Structures are given as C-alpha cells and as structure tokens.
A = this chain, B = another copy of it.
Amino acid sequence: MSTAPHDPHAEVHFTSSETVRDIVIGLADGLTVPFALAAGIAGAVTNIASPTHLVVTAGLAEIAAGSIAMGLGGYLASRGDTEHFEAERRREEREVVERPADEEEEIYEIFEQYGVDREAATPVLRSLQANPKAFVDFMMRFELGLEEPAPGRALRSAATIAVSYIVGGAVPLASYLVFSDIQRALKVSVVVTLIALAVFGAIKGKALGASVLKSALQTVAIGGVAAAAAFELARLLNSHP
C-alpha cells in the first residue's frame, strides 16, 4: 500500500474520530431500534402466554439482524472506499505520465478557484513535476478531495459498529428478561433506555465537540419518537386484527 504524506497530528485525529463515529453509529441505532421494536411489540401483544419471551425473541432477532446488516454494510462500505481510492490513484498515476499537459492544466484550474493566477502557481507546478509521487498525492487530495483510508479500517469499522449495536440493544431488552410482567418490563425498559440515551447523547456531544445538553436532548428525542411511533402503530394494528 502506498503511503501518502500525512500530517501525523491530522491523521491521529482522523483515525480516532472515525472510531468514535463507528461507536456512535452502532450505539445510536442499537439503543433506539430494538428499544422501539420491543416497546411496539409490548404494546401490541398482550393476549398470548408469555409476551416478554416474545419481546425478547423478536428483540434478539432484531439485534442479530441489525448488527450484521450494519457491521457487514460498514465493512463493505469501507472496502469500497479503499478500492475507490486505489483505482483513482492508479488513474492519476497513469495520467501524470500519459497526459502531462492536461494535468498541468488541472493544477492551474485548482489554483484559479482561489484567485491564484498562472504566474504565481507555476513555481508550485514545477516543483510538483519534479516529484511525480508528490504530484499524484497532490491531485488525490486537492483535485479529487480523497484521503487515503487507514489500512485495516474496514474490518475494525465493521466490528466496532456491530459490537456497539449489540451493546446498545442489550440495554432496552434487559428489563424484559428480568420482569415477566410485560407492563412492568416495558416501563422499566423505557426509563432505563431514555436515561441511557441521554448519557450516550451527552458523551457523544462532548466527544464531538458539540453542545452536551443539546446532544443529549436530541438522542432522547430520536429514541422517544421512534419508540412512540412503533408503540402506537403496533397498538393500532392490533386493535384491528
């Protein structure tokens, strides 16, 4: 794998924020969707023998499906990004050799967007032309806006998202495992999960440098709206079987 010139500080920032992003993606959906689904089923199925068992079954099936879909989806998306980067890089490497005049023109056009005329841009162009690898690196970043994906990122990303989804999903389901009374299990699940969503939102806000309170309220709102919608929809359907 080629090594593009990187600002080491920028790269550390980039990698850690990508991991935080994966955890956020997995936890946000894991806390929200199984929570809302469990609430929906709990609101609908009151006339069967062991409704909490059904909620747990459906909830775990959802967690399996959701974590695999998100994890594998994340894996393939990251792999796709890497393949796209490598294909574009090979194309630039070819073009630098085969169409040097076009590439010269592209450099001038990049600088023109920032009001830098040809005369001022020429010394940079000559310097890049003396170093074809740097020329390609420059085009990848400044013409195409592509950053080289970190090696091994695809698998790490998939695992991070999937595990975060499972951890998140375990929170709303736990109370249905503990309480056999479905109404009680639902109430505890709602309280526990809304608290977890608020804590998660606050930490997310802090990690991403946004407002802690706003982030907490937003996360609670998403989970609350999703659960309320699922609950009402399921109850409506069940009142007209």
Task: Give residues in A with beta carbon < 8 Å to B.
Answer: 5-7, 10, 28-29, 32-33, 35-37, 40-41, 44-45, 48, 50, 53-54, 56-58, 60-62, 64-66, 68-70, 72-73, 76, 80, 83-84, 109, 111, 113-117, 119-124, 126-128, 130-131, 134-135, 137-138, 141-142, 145, 147, 208-210, 218, 221-223, 225-227, 229-231, 233-234, 237-238, 241
With A68-B226, A210-B83 known as contacts, the answer to whether A124 contacts B137 (CB < 8 A) is no
Bound: A18/B191 CA distance, A: 36
Bound: A223/B72 CA distance, A: 10
With A109-B7, A142-B141 known as contacts, the answer to whether A65 contacts B40 (CB < 8 A) is yes
- The winner among A119, A145, A225, A226 for most chain B CB atoms within 10 A is A226
Note all chain B residues with C-beta closer than 8 A to A119.
123
Contact between chains at B145 and A68 (CB < 8 Å): no
Of all chain B residues, the one with the shortest Cβ separation from A60 is B233
Of all chain B residues, the one with the shortest Cβ separation from A87 is B209
Of all chain B residues, the one with the shortest Cβ separation from A50 is B241
With A65-B36, A123-B123 known as contacts, the answer to whether A58 contacts B58 (CB < 8 A) is yes
